[in-house]
């Protein structure tokens, strides 16, 4: 029970997907939670916003985790979480994860049907047929192991003993695979340099790193589950996921307070005791969960220099330049895939602006735009350094955004001729925008593993401050909606056992 001076058992800083997931699962177990969110809406990078009748995904638009048990894999955390909460989130199946448009007229769709996808690769690289099958079989093997293991905290000894005792061979096999790189595994089977470049962009599409820098285990989730659980788009857009988590929290008595920015984590004698808001009010709890980045948590919200995390300690993920466009529907063919990636030159695909990510979610859900219109969401990696020289809102800043957007639109016309003339609404966002709205250090999407690092070297949920926990892309397993969802499950599992009310297995 909450004592008289505590506002809740657990306070959560930020209504990102990791924090909301942890709050919902804890609240369902009877552990009281209080979520503070700076913005008037939930979701962080997985939120949505409206302009002139359009509903745009603020960031994420490729969603794993909505498959059905038995028939389409069990790495379906969203399905199992919402089933546990008794909340329904309707989705629309997407038959293609990503349509790649690459140099040398190389185009291929990563189809839900695994055979269709592999056959398309083999048609392009017939001499690598055996290597292609062997490499993607490796990813399937990882997926099969992960699908059979219950989700929980790797810091929870009881959970590890239970999993190890129940699945000894699979646990050992998975442990060995955590030391392997996606790219190095690919090079065991494949020699063609263009095909290896494709393996790189497969990793870069969600990890923002090349394949050698990407753990095999992460690849087994994202590049195998697309053929099992598949890609499923939530009806109403990305914002449907955080809104559903909020409904789950409130259903079981939890609280979410929007437009309530946390300015400090209250630490006494090395222990987190609560938070202070920007208006000076203070709230106390038995535990605090931060959904902020590792840099924001320890360099901004905690003032004690003993806990400071230097920028160089982790490799910093990039930020983004984003274009949210409302366009006349005539510019997009009826058979156009929802998600695309464009690479003009392999020499700069992993440089800022080198790869264009592109989606048109109205191909699945027309309700996101006015009749006769479509949404185009195009974005490229960007660094804060290139934008810090500008005064946000000043004329030079606005002009720089327009020039940058024009170049991206011109490049995108490679697959959508006439796009520039079809644009009827344009909203642009830079790293400064991400820093402002998401409270993220340099607008970054968190720390990345360095080449050669084991995935288990990613920070877990516990921190150097007693009773302060972390979720989100700064923690294991990393970037992406399904990854931060796992971090929330893991954190809730650890705290619930600590409070004497262990989570029931998600089924």
Q: Write down the pLDDT at residue 60.
A: 81
User: Can you spell out the DSSP letters for 321-333?
Assistant: EEEEEEEEGGGS-
pLDDT surpasses 50 at 3: no
Q: Write down the pLDDT at residue 326.
A: 97
347 lies in some domain: no
Q: What is the pLDDT of residues 60-69, one digit of tens each?
A: 889 998 988 7
Closest CA to 163 of 173, 151, 155: 151
Closest CA to 434 of 442, 443, 426: 443
Q: How far apart are CA 135 and CA 296, in angstroms?
A: 38
Q: How far apart are CA 153 and CA 493, in angstroms?
A: 6
Same domain, 211 and 256: no
Which of 34-43, 75-84, 334-343 is least confident? 75-84
Closest CA to 243 of 102, 38, 87: 87
Q: Which CATH number covers residue 468? A: 3.50.50.60
Q: Name the domain boundary from 208, 233, 258.
A: 233
pLDDT surpasses 60 at 13: yes
Q: Give φ, ψ of 390 to 5 degrees.
A: -95, 150
Which of 104-108, 159-163, 354-358 is least confident? 159-163
Q: How far apart are CA 419 and CA 330, in angstroms?
A: 10
| Chain centre distance of CA 132 | 27
Same domain, 124 and 215: yes
Q: How far apart are CA 175 and CA 243, in angstroms?
A: 35
Q: Name the domain boundary from 201, 233, 265.
A: 233
Do strands 8-13 and 33-36 pair parallel, antiparallel, or not at all (unpaired)? parallel
Q: Given pLDDT bands bounded at 50, 70 and 90, which one contains residue 279?
A: very high
Closest CA to 213 of 448, 494, 482, 398: 448
Q: Which residue has the higher pLDDT, 285 or 181?
A: 285
pLDDT surpasses 80 at 405: yes
Task: Answer left, alpha or beta for residue 43, where phi above 0 means left and psi between -120 and 50 means alpha.
Answer: left
Using an 8 Å Cβ cutoff, are 198 and 106 in contact?
yes
Same domain, 195 and 269: no
Same domain, 201 and 275: no
- Enclosing domain of residue 267: 8-47+77-85+235-313+446-498
pLDDT surpasses 50 at 216: yes
Q: How far apart are CA 271 and CA 466, in angstroms?
A: 4
Q: How far apart are CA 167 and CA 223, in angstroms?
A: 24
Same domain, 248 and 294: yes
Q: Write down the pLDDT at residue 160.
A: 67
Q: Given pLDDT bands bounded at 50, 70 and 90, which one contains residue 208?
A: confident
The residues near 260 (Cβ < 8 Å, ≥ 6 apart) are 36, 37, 38, 277, 278
Same domain, 210 and 187: yes
| Paired tokens of 26 | 């804890």
Model confidence pTM above 0.85: yes
Same domain, 130 and 204: yes
Q: Which residue has the higher pLDDT, 369 or 316?
A: 369
Q: What is the pLDDT of residues 138-191, one digit of tens each?
A: 999 888 887 777 777 777 677 766 766 766 777 677 777 777 889 999 999 999
Q: Given pLDDT bands bounded at 50, 70 and 90, which one contains residue 461?
A: very high
In the chain, % of residues over pLDDT 70? 95
Q: What is the pLDDT of residues 422-449, one digit of tens each?
A: 999 999 999 999 888 888 888 888 888 7
Q: Write down the pLDDT at residue 203.
A: 92
Peptide bond into 312 cis (omega under 30): no
pLDDT surpasses 90 at 419: yes
Same domain, 126 and 221: yes
Mean pLDDT, the chain, whole residue set: 91
HEC string for 239-288: CHHHHHHHHHHHHCCCEEECCCCEEEEEEECCEEEEEEECCCCEEEEEEE
Looking at the structure of the chain, the number of domains it has is 2
């Amino acid at each position: 029970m909450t004592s008289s001076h505590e506002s809740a058992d657990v306070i959560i800083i930020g209504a990102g997907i990791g924090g909301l997931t942890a709050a919902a699962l804890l609240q369902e177990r009877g552990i009281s939670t209080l979520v503070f969110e700076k913005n008037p809406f939930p979701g962080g990078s997985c939120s949505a916003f409206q302009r002139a009748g359009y509903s745009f995904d603020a960031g994420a638009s490729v969603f794993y985790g909505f498959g059905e048990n038995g028939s389409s894999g069990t790495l379906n955390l969203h399905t199992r979480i919402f089933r546990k909460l008794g909340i329904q989130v309707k989705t629309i199946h997407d038959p293609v994860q990503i349509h790649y448009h690459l140099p040398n007229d190389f185009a291929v769709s990563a189809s839900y049907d695994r055979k269709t996808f592999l056959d398309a690769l083999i048609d392009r690289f017939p001499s690598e047929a055996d290597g292609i099958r062997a490499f993607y079989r490796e990813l399937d093997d990882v997926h099969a192991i992960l699908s059979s293991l219950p989700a929980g905290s790797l810091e929870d000894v009881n959970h590890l003993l239970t999993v190890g005792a129940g699945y000894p061979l699979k646990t050992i096999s998975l442990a060995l695979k955590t030391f392997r790189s996606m790219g190095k595994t690919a090079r065991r089977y494949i020699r063609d340099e263009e095909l290896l470049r494709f393996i790189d962009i497969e990793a870069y599409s969600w990890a923002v790193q090349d394949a050698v820098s990407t753990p095999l285990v992460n690849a087994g989730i994202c590049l195998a589950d697309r053929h099992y659980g598949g890609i499923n788009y939530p009806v109403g857009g990305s914002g449907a996921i955080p809104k559903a988590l909020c409904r789950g929290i409130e259903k079981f008595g939890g609280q979410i307070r929007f437009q309530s920015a946390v300015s400090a984590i209250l630490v006494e004698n090395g222990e987190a005791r609560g938070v202070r808001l920007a208006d000076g009010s203070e709230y106390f709890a038995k535990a605090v969960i931060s959904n902020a980045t590792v840099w924001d948590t320890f360099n901004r919200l905690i003032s004690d220099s003993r806990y400071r995390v230097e920028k160089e300690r982790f490799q910093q993920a990039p930020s983004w330049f984003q274009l949210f466009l409302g366009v006349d529907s005539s510019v997009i063919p009826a058979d156009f895939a929802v998600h695309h990636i464009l690479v003009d030159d392999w020499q700069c695909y992993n440089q800022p602006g080198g790869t264009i990510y592109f989606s048109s979610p109205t191909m699945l859900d027309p309700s996101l735009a006015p009749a006769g219109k479509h949404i185009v969401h195009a974005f490229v990696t960007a660094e804060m350094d290139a934008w810090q020289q500008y005064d946000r809102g000043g004329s030079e800043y606005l002009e720089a955004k327009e020039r940058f957007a024009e170049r991206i639109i011109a490049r995108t016309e490679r697959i959508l001729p006439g796009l520039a003339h079809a644009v009827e609404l344009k909203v642009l966002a830079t790293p400064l925008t991400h820093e402002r709205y998401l409270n993220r250090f340099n607008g970054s999407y968190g720390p990345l593993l360095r080449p050669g690092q084991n995935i288990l070297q990613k920070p877990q949920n516990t921190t150097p401050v007693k009773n302060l926990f972390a979720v989100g892309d700064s923690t294991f397993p990393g970037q992406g909606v399904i990854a931060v969802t796992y971090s929330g499950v893991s954190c809730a599992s650890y705290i619930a056992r600590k409070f004497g009310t262990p989570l029931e297995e998600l089924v």
